[in-house]
Amino acid sequence: MIKRVKIKSSNRDFLKKVETLSGEDITVCDRCGVCTGSCPLTIEMEISPSNIMKMVQLGQEDVMDYNSMWVCSTCNYCTARCPRGLDVSKVTEALRQIKLRQSFDKIDIDKIPKEELRELPQIALIGAFRRLTS
């Protein structure tokens, strides 16, 4: 079944938020698809990078229900080729920020066993706690 979506005026708040966080003029994307064609990780993505841009344009928050923004490795292939000069990786980063700030799977440092804490990569810990601070 084809998804039915209602576009409400409030959707622009989400667009505005992503634009503020990413610093990109997302509305100028005309979805030529060069980002998707260039992306080395689309094989792992549920929706394409250009699809992310279009969904954000319409303020569709369900863009964050797909795994694509987590798959993006910020390799910047898309940025190097975007004919409208957009940085798509900044947009995926903004989406990750928004999702993280929702803190839906909050980590309690006290509950992590000490042995495990020693083993965990530092960057993973920093990533996990960043969502609590921003």
Partner 1 sequence: MRIGVYVCHCGGNISDIVDVKAVAQEAEKQGDVVFAKDYSHMCSGNGQQMVIDDIKEHKLDKVLISACSPLFHGETFKAAVVKAGLNPYLVEMSNIREHCAWVHYDDKNKATEKAKNLTKIGIEKVRNNKPLETIETPIGKRVLVIGGGIAGIQAALDLGDAGYEVHLVEKNATIGGRMAQLSRTFPTNDCAACILGSKMAAIPKNKNIKLSNYSEIEKIEGTIGNFNVTIRKKPTYVHADACVSCGDCVAPCPVSLKDEMQWGVTKRKSIYLPIDFAVPNKYLIDGDKCLNIKAQKKTGEPSKVCRLCEKACHQGAIDFSMKAEKEEFIVDTIIVATGHDVFDATRKPEYGYGKYENVMIAPEVERVIVHKGEGTPTIDMGERIAFIQCVGSRDEQIGREYCSRVCCMYATKLSQLIKSMANVNGENKDIYVFYTDMRTFGKGYEEYYKATQRMGVKFVRGRPAEVIEDSVTKKLIIKVEDTLNNIIIESEFDKVVLSVGMQLSEGGNEIAEILKLPKSEDGFLQEAHPKFRPVDTSKDGIFIAGTAQGPKDIPDSVAQASATAARAMRLMNQGKITEEPLKAFIETDLCDGCELCINSCPPNAITMQNGKVVVNPVMCKGCGMCIASCHADAIDLNMYTNRQMLAEVEAALKDKKEDERIVLIFANDMCGYKLADSVGTAKKAYSDAIRIIKVPSTSRITPQLMLQAFSMGADGILLADCEIKSSDFAGSIETAINYVDKVKNILTEIDEDPERVMIFQFATVMLPKFVALMNQMSDIAYKNKPISDKNKEIIHKNISKWLFEK
**Which range in 30-38, 57-65, 66-74, 106-114 contacts partner 1 by CB under 8 A?**
30-38
Q: Binding partner 1 by CB under 8 A: which of 18, 52, 56, 82? A: 82
Q: Is 41 in the site for partner 1 (CB under 8 A)?
A: no
Q: Is 68 in the site for partner 1 (CB under 8 A)?
A: no
> Cα torsion at 87, 80, 65, 93 (round to 10°)?
-50
Task: Write each residue from 84 to 103 as x if it is in contact with partner 1 (CB under 8 A), else as -, in one continuous string.
Answer: xx------------------
CB of 8 to partner 1, least distance (A): 24
Residues in the chain: 134
Neighbours of 92 (CB within 10 A): 25
Token pair recorded at residue 69: 């923004």
- Rounded alpha-carbon distances, angstroms, from residue 103 to 41, 51, 100, 122: 26, 25, 5, 19
Token pair recorded at residue 31: 């979805």
- Counting residues that bind partner 1 (by CB under 8 A) gives 19
By the criterion CB under 8 A, which residues form the site for partner 1? 30-34, 36-38, 42, 47-48, 50-51, 80-85
